[in-house]
Amino acid sequence: MTTPAEAPLEAPLIPYVDPQRHARGKRKARRDAVIASLSTVVVFAVLAFLVTATPGWDAVKETFFNWDEAVAAWPTLLTAFALNIKIFLIAEVCILILALVIALGRGLRAPVALPIRILCTVYVDFFRGVPTILVILLLGFGVPALQLKGVPNSPVIWGTVALILSYTAYVAEVYRAGIESIHPSQRAAARSLGLSSVQTTRYVVLPQAVRRVVPPLLNDFIALQKETALVSLLGPIEILRAAQISASANFNYTAYVVAALFFVAITLPLTRFTDWLQKRDTRRRMAGVR
């Protein structure tokens, strides 16, 4: 079957721009670029001058930005940072899975599933309300104190578990918001094809929901990556603890600054990626509006 409506109604239009306007536009773009670079250079030059000209600058530089200290400290910090990376990578994988289970559990409507729904809701309410640092102390010192047989008492393990418990609550809410943002008509369309409720969630609702929540989810992961430093409270030599040791040995805080740079370096790509995703999402949705 061919439909005449398919045929284009008019020939494609060739863009036409007045050459004078075009030239004027180009001139303006060039002028704008020059102004932008000039103002940037001037502002930053003035800032640099003001900072270095401040009376206390030499002391500040010596204590926080000591090049020799930085060079001496960074290999140790890098080794220690490997532990932070290990903690958040393991935690992120566990959180992604557990949070999805909790979010789906809260969405169960069958009467027999009521206890599951209650458990999931209580879990989220509790761990969203309790400070992460408290959970870390409670598990990290509390569980090994029980001296249970067969239960590991490594502070790294219990610190990671605490982070997982705390962040799963947040991420579960992110998932749930995504699931609830899918219009009911999508569910109706899937059910009317004969798909079961589970199949509808699996093939129609979840894929769309997860795509929608990637930016807020990455946001939570950025926060998590920083919070791995809290595990230092339990004693293991991760980067913050390593920086602390170095700082107190030399009475110099450069190691903290280097540690800070490590955290920024690892979160920056993720922040930029999140920004890019969000922008792409907006663009797509705008393109969808006809």
Partner 1 sequence: MTFIRVDDVHKAFGDNAVLRGMSMGVDLHEVVCLIGASGSGKSTLLRCLNGLEPVDAGTVWVGDIEVTAHDVDLDEARQKVGIVFQQFNLFPHMSVLANITLGPRKVLRQGAGEAESNARELLERFGLSDKADDYPDRLSGGQQQRVAIVRALAMKPEAMLFDEVTSALDPLLVGEVLDVIRELKSEGMTIIMATHEMGFAQEVADRVCFLANGQVLEQGSPEQLFGKPQQDLTRAFLARVSR
Binding site for partner 1 (CB under 8 A): 1-6, 9, 185-186, 188-196, 199, 203-204, 207-208, 211, 284, 287-288, 290
Burial of 184-202, coded b for 16+ CB within 10 Å and e otherwise, reads: eeebeebeeeebeeeebbe
Q: How far is the CB of 277 from partner 1 (least distance, A)?
A: 15
CB atoms within 10 A of CB 164: 23
Q: How far is the CB of 148 from partner 1 (least distance, A)?
A: 45
Q: How far is the CB of 36 from partner 1 (least distance, A)?
A: 36
Q: How far is the CB of 170 from partner 1 (least distance, A)?
A: 25
Residue number with CB closer to partner 1 (34 or 198): 198
Query: 21 is written with which tokens?
Result: 């306007």
CA distance 121 to 40: 51
Residue number with CB closer to partner 1 (1 or 59): 1
Residue number with CB closer to partner 1 (126 or 203): 203
SS3 130: coil
Q: How far is the CB of 147 from partner 1 (least distance, A)?
A: 51
Residue number with CB closer to partner 1 (10 or 18): 10
Residue number with CB closer to partner 1 (56 or 184): 184
Residue number with CB closer to partner 1 (93 or 189): 189
Q: How far is the CB of 51 from partner 1 (least distance, A)?
A: 50
Residue number with CB closer to partner 1 (52 or 199): 199
Burial of 46-66, coded b for 16+ CB within 10 Å and e otherwise, reads: eeeeeeeeeeeeeeeeebeeb
**What is the gyration radius of the CA atoms in the chain, in angstroms?**
27
Q: How far is the CB of 196 from partner 1 (least distance, A)?
A: 6
HSE (side-chain half, CA atoms, 13 Å) at 121: 9
CA distance 214 to 200: 21
CB 195 within 8 A of CB 204: yes
Contacts of 277 (CB under 8 A, 6+ apart): 214, 215, 218
Residue number with CB closer to partner 1 (11 or 145): 11
Q: How far is the CB of 9 from partner 1 (least distance, A)?
A: 8
Query: 104 is written with which tokens?
Result: 């789906």
CA distance 73 to 259: 9
CB atoms within 10 A of CB 139: 20
